């Protein structure tokens, strides 16, 4: 789960130089506080990287921020979405309605959007209840999901993208060199975007990297499971994330422009920190798995940014997903295994 430190807030609108600005769009009732939406000048008009949460106050902030940048929602040429989560993709549809802009996303995350649009809310509640039961969650945690009434939830009606982001290719942005780097882990279709242009302040390194949630200065992004009720493939999101981290580290950008918190230099150093963090976490989990544990029991014993008793219901569900992603990595690496015949399934270190 994400864990942040106190820091001076990023200005609501900031000019990063070289035709790149950012707008700090609030996320309602969320400790992250905001999404940094980047406004990139191109030969055909401004393009947004992410859009922020679909909320009236967030839309007003984005609209006023675009005005402060010398443009407006009606003038947006396109939207490049780093990943499908609602604090990044939420306002994309409203931007397209205002401007006719295209929306681009990696095909793996577009598939999630298409599936989400087609599914009824009760399908999601039923799926999550079953997953949590299989993970060993107690009935008092599962009961609210089984009793949930269909209702509108954030991110259940996201805009369907109309362009694919193809990994390794330059995006069709006249006057810019913006290359898509596929970085699965946080989501199956997460992309970073490498601006292959000289840094406006001539900092050493290779251009700038719009990193979405993949690489953040003080936060370890959530790595849970890729949820698809109709797919039984056993994925390895944490393995994907670790591989993606190393790939981004080799780019050696002069500056990282993340979707949360603040820009920072030395991506390679931050990558090393995150790789070390996850290896330490995996080692700590192996110690816990000296005895057979369900994913829920493992999550209860893991170290979070607050005691387990203080973690609210929704965040506990996220924590269990993160525990399961670490278990899958350990199993795939041959460092842990499922206990035959256990129900719900338990795992033990090898």
What CATH number is given to the structural domain containing 247? 3.60.15.10
**pLDDT at res. 2:** 46
Three-state SS letters, 195-213 = ECCCCCCCCCCCCEEEEEC
Tell me what the pLDDT averaged over the chain comes to: 93
Which of 35-49, 143-157, 202-216, 242-256 is the least confident region? 143-157
**pLDDT at res. 234:** 87
Task: Say yes or no to pLDDT of 280 above 90.
Answer: yes
**pLDDT at res. 32:** 87
Give residue 40's domain range.
Answer: 13-118+152-275
Peptide bond into 13 cis (omega under 30): no
**pLDDT at res. 89:** 97
**pLDDT at res. 157:** 78
| Res. 229 pLDDT band, cuts 50 70 90 | confident
Task: Say yes or no to pLDDT of 183 above 80.
Answer: yes
- Percent of the chain scored above 90 by pLDDT? 85
Interval 209-231 mean pLDDT: 92
Q: Is residue 78 part of a domain?
A: yes
Task: Say yes or no to pLDDT of 228 above 90.
Answer: no
- 89 phi/psi in degrees, rounded to 5: -100, -10
Task: Say yes or no to pLDDT of 6 above 80.
Answer: no
Task: Say yes or no to pLDDT of 204 above 90.
Answer: yes
Q: Is residue 174 part of a domain?
A: yes
Q: Is residue 336 part of a domain?
A: no
Most confident among 23-37, 86-100, 114-128, 147-161 (mean pLDDT) = 86-100
Interval 321-332 mean pLDDT: 97
**pLDDT at res. 5:** 41
Q: Is residue 95 part of a domain?
A: yes
Running DSSP on this structure, what letter comes out for residue 264?
Answer: B
Task: Say yes or no to pLDDT of 88 above 90.
Answer: yes
> What's the pLDDT tens digit per position in 89-148?
999 999 999 999 999 999 999 999 998 888 777 788 888 999 999 999 999 999 988 876
**pLDDT at res. 148:** 61
Answer yes or no: are the C-beta atoms of 116 and 81 closer than 8 Å. Answer: no
Answer yes or no: are the C-beta atoms of 191 and 212 closer than 8 Å. Answer: yes
Q: Is residue 105 part of a domain?
A: yes
Take residue 54 and report the two structure tokens written for it.
């679909």
Structural domains in the chain (count): 1
> What's the pLDDT tens digit per position in 327-336?
999 999 999 9
Report the sign of the C-alpha dihedral through residues 323, 327, 329, 335, in that order. Answer: positive
Interval 50-70 mean pLDDT: 96
166-174 long-range contacts, Cβ below 8 Å, gap at least 24? 167/106, 167/191, 171/80, 171/104, 173/40, 173/42, 173/43, 173/44, 173/47, 173/78, 174/42, 174/43, 174/44
Task: Say yes or no to pLDDT of 150 above 80.
Answer: no
**pLDDT at res. 336:** 98
**pLDDT at res. 3:** 42
| Res. 152 pLDDT band, cuts 50 70 90 | low
Residue showing tokens 């996850």: 278
Q: Is residue 290 part of a domain?
A: no
Task: Say yes or no to pLDDT of 153 above 80.
Answer: no
Interval 164-187 mean pLDDT: 97
**In terms of C-beta density within 10 A (0-12 exposed, 13-18 middle, 19 or more buried), how is residue 148 classed?**
middle
Take residue 164 and report the two structure tokens written for it.
């694919």
Q: Is residue 70 part of a domain?
A: yes
Task: Say yes or no to pLDDT of 4 above 50.
Answer: no
Q: How many C-beta atoms lie closer than 10 Å to residue 344's C-beta?
A: 14
* pTM metric for this prediction: 0.93
First CA to last CA distance, the chain = 26
Take residue 238 and report the two structure tokens written for it.
């944490």
Task: Say yes or no to pLDDT of 154 above 90.
Answer: no
Q: Is residue 5 part of a domain?
A: no
**pLDDT at res. 156:** 61
């Amino acid at each position: 789960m994400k864990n942040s430190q106190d820091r001076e807030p990023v200005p609501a609108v900031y000019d990063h130089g070289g035709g790149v600005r950012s707008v700090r769009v609030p996320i309602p009732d969320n400790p992250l506080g905001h999404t940094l939406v980047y406004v990139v000048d191109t030969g055909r008009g401004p393009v947004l990287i992410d859009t922020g949460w679909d909320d009236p106050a967030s839309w007003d902030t984005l609209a006023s921020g675009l005005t402060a940048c010398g443009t407006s929602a009606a003038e947006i040429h396109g939207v490049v979405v780093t990943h499908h989560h609602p604090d990044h993709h939420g306002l994309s549809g409203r931007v397209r309605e205002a401007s006719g802009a295209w929306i681009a996303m990696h095909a793996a995350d577009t598939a999630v959007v298409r599936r989400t649009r087609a599914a009824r809310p009760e399908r999601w509640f039923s799926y999550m209840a079953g997953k949590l039961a299989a993970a060993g969650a107690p009935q008092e945690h599962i009961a609210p999901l089984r009793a949930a009434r269909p209702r509108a939830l954030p991110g259940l009606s996201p805009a369907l993208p109309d362009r694919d982001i193809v990994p390794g290719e330059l995006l069709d942005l006249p006057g810019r060199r913006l290359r898509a780097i596929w970085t699965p882990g946080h989501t199956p279709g997460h992309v970073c975007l490498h601006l292959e242009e000289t840094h406006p302040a001539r900092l050493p390194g290779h251009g700038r990297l719009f990193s979405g949630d993949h690489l953040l200065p003080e936060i370890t992004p959530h790595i849970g499971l890729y949820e698809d009720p109709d797919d039984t493939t056993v994925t390895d999101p944490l393995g994907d994330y670790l591989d993606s981290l190393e790939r981004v580290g080799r780019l050696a950008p002069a500056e990282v422009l993340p979707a949360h918190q603040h820009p920072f230099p030395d991506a390679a150093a931050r990558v090393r920190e995150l790789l070390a963090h996850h290896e330490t976490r995996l080692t700590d989990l192996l110690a816990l798995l000296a005895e057979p544990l369900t994913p829920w029991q493992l999550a209860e014993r893991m170290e979070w940014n607050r005691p387990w008793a203080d973690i609210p219901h929704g965040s506990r569900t996220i924590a269990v997903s993160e525990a399961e992603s670490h278990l899958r990595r350990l199993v795939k690496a041959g460092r842990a295994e499922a206990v035959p015949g256990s129900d719900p399934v338990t795992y033990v270190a090898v």
